[in-house]
Amino acid sequence: MTSHTEQSAVTVLGLGPMGRALAAAFLDAGLPTTVWNRTPGKDRELVERGATGASSAEEAVAASGLTVICVVNYDAVDAIVRAGAVAGALKGRTLVNLTADTPDRARDTATWAAEHGVGYLDGAIMTPTTTIGTPAGVFLHSGPEELYRRHRPMLDALGGTHTYLSEDIGRASAYDIALLDIFWTAMAGYAHALAVARAEGVTARELAPFAKGIGAILPPIFELSAEEVDSGRFSGEDNPITSAVSSMAHIVHTSEAHGIDASVMRAAEGLARRVIGRGHGADGFLRITELLNPR
Ligand SMILES: NC(=O)c1ccc[n+]([C@@H]2O[C@H](COP(=O)([O-])OP(=O)(O)OC[C@H]3O[C@@H](n4cnc5c(N)ncnc54)[C@H](OP(=O)(O)O)[C@@H]3O)[C@@H](O)[C@H]2O)c1
């Protein structure tokens, strides 16, 4: 059982850029906050602001009813929380894991937590450190709903929007993976575009306002295409995939004429051509979803 004081206190394990931002937000909200990091010294600023610096993860966990962990990946989470004494200290308390990893790892951690009497919630942070403690932060949560509701008031101290997704502990991570898939493939496309633009004598500064315009085309597509993708019926009325491959081929050609690797675009173009080869050339580009994962 945790004491009344421990119930209103929070511990943060992991003081990388994100862990420090989380701890700072808890402190700003006036919550008694204990912090710990594998490499000592990263708690200095937080301790100056009123946090308690614990000398071990076990001591940190024992100080609060709620522990938030945010480290590089679940291997690091395991290294910290599955070590004998820490697991014992977590028994009867709640662990909220805001580390990014895969749905499988979240499920595996939940199994471990259940076997060790630890309340477990898994979450994902979808915005940068600068948003933590502000209205711009975006947090996704999954796991036992009752546990989430119980700790929600303390999680609110982190600011932003908190969305509870599902009892399925892997769901927050599944969203994280899908959303980061969008982000990193877009970033790979942007890096490639900058290289091609430079080869044509166009600077990143010159391209930026127009790049923003291209980026702004995407959000309405996310909304408008959702029904098509979920139903598996794709309208290519405004932009059939036959037209899309032609545009993609121009990019491949221009890149390779400059000796620039076009493998990312070649991969996308290859998928589009396979869809056409299967007789769906009149459909829109997102028909590729069916090729990648047939229902
Ligand atoms: N930074 C962002 O803007 C952002 C945004 C959204 C989500 N996230 C997610 O938040 C998590 C933390 O990110 P971060 O920005 O704070 O930096 P990070 O570099 O991903 O993580 C650094 C933290 O991980 C710890 N760590 C690494 N290996 C460890 C191990 N084997 N055992 C124990 N601790 C270990 C580090 O401890 P030491 O100091 O001892 O190395 C440090 O506390 C990540 O999963 C990241 O994907 C970050």
39 lines ligand 1 (CB under 6 A): yes
Q: Tell me the DSSP string of 29-77.
A: TT--EEEE-SSTTTTHHHHHTTPEEPSSHHHHHHT-SEEEE--SSHHHH
Q: What is the DSSP letter of 102?
A: -
Atom of ligand 1 nearest to the CA of 100: 45
CATH topology for 203-292 is N-(1-d-carboxylethyl)-l-norvaline Dehydrogenase; domain 2 (1.10.1040)
- In testing the pocket of ligand 1, which one of 12, 13, 18, 122 has its CB within 8 Å of the most ligand atoms? 18
> Where does residue 247 rank: exposed (0-12), middle (13-18), buried (19+ CB within 10 A)?
exposed
Given the structure tokens 């912090």, which residue do they identify? 35
Report whether pLDDT(2) > 70: no
Question: Check: CATH 3.40.50.720 for 6-167?
Answer: yes
For residue 17, give the ligand 1 atom closest to its CA.
Answer: 16
To the question of pTM greater than 0.85 for the whole model, the response is yes
Residues in the chain: 295
Q: What is the pLDDT of residue 237?
A: 79
Q: pLDDT tens across 7-27, in order?
A: 789 999 999 999 999 999 999
Would the CB of 221 count as within 6 Å of ligand 1?
no
- What amino acid is encoded at 33 in this protein? T
Q: What is the pLDDT of residue 84?
A: 78
Q: Give the span between the Cα atoms of 287 and 229, in whole angstroms.
A: 8
Residue 97 has pLDDT above 90, yes or no: yes
Averaged pLDDT for residues 40-45: 96
**242-288 pLDDT, tens digit each:** 999 999 999 999 999 999 999 999 999 999 999 999 999 999 999 99
The values of phi and psi at residue 162, to 5°, are -110, 125
Q: What is the mean pLDDT of residues 188-207?
A: 98
Inter-residue contact 80 to 86 (CB < 8 Å) = yes
**Nearest partner of 37 among 82, 68, 5, 7, judged by Cα:** 68
Ligand 1 mutation target, pool 72, 175, 177, most atoms within 8 A of CB: 72
Residue 129, classed as helix, strand or coil, is helix
Residue 6 has pLDDT above 80, yes or no: no
What is the Å distance from ligand 1's center to 76 Cα?
Answer: 9
pLDDT winner (highest mean) among 5-9, 25-29, 82-86, 224-228: 25-29
Quick one: which H or E segment has residue 10?
strand 10-13
Domain ranges of the chain: 6-167, 203-292
